[in-house]
Amino acid sequence: MTKNILLFIDHLGPGGAQRQITNLAIGLKAEGHSVIVATYHDEQHFKPDLDAHEIPQARLTKAHRFSLGPVWGLLNIIKGKKIDVVISFLETPCFYAELAKLFRPSFFLVVSERFTYTHDRLPWSQWIGQMMHFFADKVTTNSHHQRLKMAHHFPWMEERLCTIYNGYDLQKFKPSGIYVDRHCDVEPVRLLAVSRLLDKKNSLNLAKAFRLCALEKDIEIVIDWVGLVEDHDSLGPLSQETLAFLEENQLSDKFRFLGVQSDIHELMRNYDALVHPSFFEGLPNAICEALACGMPVLASDVGDHSILVDEPHGGFLFDPSGPHEIAEKICAFSKLTCAEKNSIGKRNRDFAEENVSLERLVGNYVDLLTLSPPSS
């Protein structure tokens, strides 16, 4: 049965959650549902994608930081468009949607968590935000790790929780036969990191592991880091220390920061593996895209990484707290044969097709819609 669905997020700028909600909107419309996307900030990166599929958008008013304008805007759309289902992404939009549910409880509300707890004891502001999920009909997470943590902290929420992995365009992110086309056993080992340069992404320990590989393990490697790098004063202390460490040890020519790139799917075809050393994660787009491209993955053993990578079948996992184990796993990867790397690549592509396709993302949300009341 078709539904009138409102998808709600803060803006349509270039972010992972924004990309996912855009893909979801397009997929739900393709399933025959009536879809509208509402935002309250004016970034428009994904607007052309929605326009191309004739999906209408609504811009809600938010006059200041603590404005309730988005709540009233939601209520007006829900009433005027006879909305059956609201799906919201990210913490603040979910909070607004749950407030709207207080005033008009007739619609089915699905809120989506896109992060992971970083402390055992939650800050009071985050605790309040989580308690607001009492007013949601379903709460989705994009990692099993976060779902289990939420159920632990809030047992009453367990029946509402479900995990839905992100979805990716597997025709865009696909293998290129990299280990067939190039001499995979010839150094240097080329590793790619994809992330904004933030302290939580653990670039410093990766840089120190890079140096250990050269000094102690006699492995020649090149690491290219792709993603936004703020000006020096805006970087966190660990990120600043990374840049200083590379310069002091004259490593900047082989551990390079390439800035924002628009052709990640093309770049991935030119590297031997993805390295992702974060201290904590929800469901990282970079890893999922690498899996889709049939790349081996070297990643920190946090979050759902053990499911995504499944060492040694999809790559290697390491403790991110220090450089030595990272270096050891890079060394182990460098010793793999071409056949072993090809086997890893095939496993990772198969995993992506089964678990992180756009069709799987949309299908999982369509299944949730069957739980909502029939359209009036």
Contact at 8 Å (CB) between 348 and 299?
A: no
CB-CB neighbours of 371 under 10 Å: 11
pLDDT of amino acid 122? 87
Contact at 8 Å (CB) between 271 and 176?
A: no
pLDDT of amino acid 262? 82
pLDDT less than 70: residues of the chain: 177-186, 375-376
Q: How far is CA 124 from CA 10, 117, 130, 180, 281, in A?
A: 22, 13, 10, 53, 21
Class of the 4-167+357-369 domain? alpha beta
Q: How far is CA 239 from CA 32, 36, 179, 212, 229, in A?
A: 47, 40, 33, 19, 9
- Half-sphere exposure for 72 (CA within 13 Å, toward CB): 6
pLDDT of amino acid 15? 83
pLDDT of amino acid 181? 47
Hey, do 4-167+357-369 and 178-355 end up sharing a CATH topology, with the first three levels equal? yes
Residue in the structure block whose two tokens are 């992971």: 116
Pick from 96, 85, 100, 110: which is nearest to 39 by CA?
96
pLDDT of amino acid 180? 47
Q: Which CATH architecture has domain 178-355?
A: 3-Layer(aba) Sandwich (3.40)
- Cβ neighbourhood burial of 327 (10 Å; 0-12, 13-18, 19+): buried
Q: How far is CA 147 from CA 87, 158, 215, 246, in A?
A: 18, 8, 42, 38
DSSP three-state, residue 318? strand
Domain residue limits, the chain? 4-167+357-369, 178-355
